Copies of this chain bind each other. A is one copy, B any other.
Amino acid sequence: MAIEGRSDAKQGGRIRLGMVGGGQGAFIGAVHRLAARMDDQYEFVAGALSSSPERSRASGAELGLAPDRIYTDYREMAKAEANRKDGIEAVAIVTPNNIHVPAAKAFIEAGIHVICDKPLALSLKEAKSLETLLKKKNVVFALTHNYSGYPMIRQAREMVAKGELGQIRLVQAEYPQDWLTEDIEKSGQKQAAWRTDPKQSGGGAIGDIGTHAYQLACFVSGLTLDELAADMTSFVKGRKVDDNVNVMLRFKNGARGMLWASQVAPGNENGLRLRVYGTKGGLDWTQADPNYLWFTPFGQEKRLITRGGAGSGATAGRVTRVPPGHPEGYLEGFANIYTEAARAIIARRAGKKPDKDVNFPGIEDGVAGMAFIEGCKKSSARNGKWTKV
């Protein structure tokens, strides 16, 4: 277990962190704050937690922010914090999707590192404009594709990279949920409301969970998608975005795959699962039981690799906190993204490159995710025609 040397060690003090979005009633803001806190690498000191001044103030007070560091506008916040001596070094952007890029740009321009929720943008074009800006600015940009922070996912990626599966032939990714089986967006459920409003979300299941499955598939398999054929559906009457997405995948190395994302599959809470098969073996992982990784070397017994247990290597070990058999979960995986980003930020403080093992999703993942979303939309609009991404 590497918890001591890693998570508690502070080089030069905690990173001063701000947040955009995440006021009272939000779900993901609290998750980000907790993830930031887990390994004691960040100190939360400023926020534009809501565009409503009243809610922003109340939320900030509840979270212990100093009154002069509670903002209602992220532009104002970026400017003010950049001018403070003790201003934030990094900002977490946890708003609906339509604010991601504008907010990120404001902070990047101010030289502040960004940790941004996903999907990155409303369009591929918008994503690319951010990419262009980032090339000019020396800031760290992390995208919270949090599932790639799970230790057993890192283990899987390492095994594929080392060739333990041989040449990859098949990638099966799925992320079924059931919470949008009925039209709860009409009843005022806040999470459902913005996620099913195309102006705020840019899309439905495809962006909210499909991009997670896609990012994970690429992260673990190491493959690059060539083309896809998609069938997007909106099952719930009156819903303005897709709530089920079926996709067939063709990767550049000739591998094939399927991806399923659904929000209308009763009995599935957050059923993210990834299976990868090659000429020499197969892997199977599911988010609900993230401490297990099933590995079958072809022709041998299936093996259960456990986080921190036998068969689990150094790559998983460095993002592991507790011994095998003591489960880690969603928050720990999420925190790994924060802590990896912290390592990069701390290296920047010293003008250094981060350690080569540091690994967190960034702008490329964001751009790739938007290309995937647009590819799916385009293919689906053309009745499932194979579409290059």
Contacts and interface: CB of A to CB of B under 8 A. Distances in A.
Contacts of A246: 248, 256-258
A237 B301 CA distance: 25
B25 A34 contact: no
Given A244-B170, A267-B294, A267-B296, A325 B177 contact: yes
A278 interface: yes
Contact of A328 (B1, B229, B267, B331): B331
Contact of A270 (B5, B303, B325): B325
Interface in A282-326: 282-284, 287-291, 294-306, 309-311, 321-326
Interface stretch (A6-14, A114-122, A361-369): A6-14
Contact of A258 (B33, B260, B331): B260
A250 interface: yes
Contact of A233 (B62, B256, B279): B256
Interface string A156-182: 000000000100011010000110011
A169 B264 CA distance: 8
Given A279-B181, A301-B305, A62 B266 contact: no
Contacts of A332: 329, 331
A233 to B, nearest CB: 5
Contacts of A383: 386
A362 B331 CA distance: 27
A8 to B, nearest CB: 5
A324 B266 CA distance: 13
Contacts of A289: 289, 327
A277 interface: yes
Contacts of A257: 246
A123 interface: no
A152 to B, nearest CB: 12
A12 to B, nearest CB: 10
B267 A309 contact: no
A147 to B, nearest CB: 10
Given A10-B63, A269-B324, 14 more contacts: A4-B26, A8-B64, A27-B323, A34-B38, A181-B298, A231-B256, A266-B277, A287-B325, A295-B301, A300-B311, A301-B309, A328-B331, A331-B331, A384-B385
Interface of A: 1, 3-5, 7-10, 13, 24-27, 30-31, 33-34, 37-40, 62-64, 165, 169-170, 172, 177-178, 181-182, 229, 231, 233, 235, 244, 246, 248, 250, 256-258, 260, 262, 264-271, 275, 277-284, 287-291, 294-306, 309-311, 321-332, 383-386
A-B interface, 8 closest residue pairs, ranked by CB to CB distance from nearest: A269-B325, A267-B296, A270-B325, A327-B329, A267-B282, A326-B330, A266-B282, A329-B329
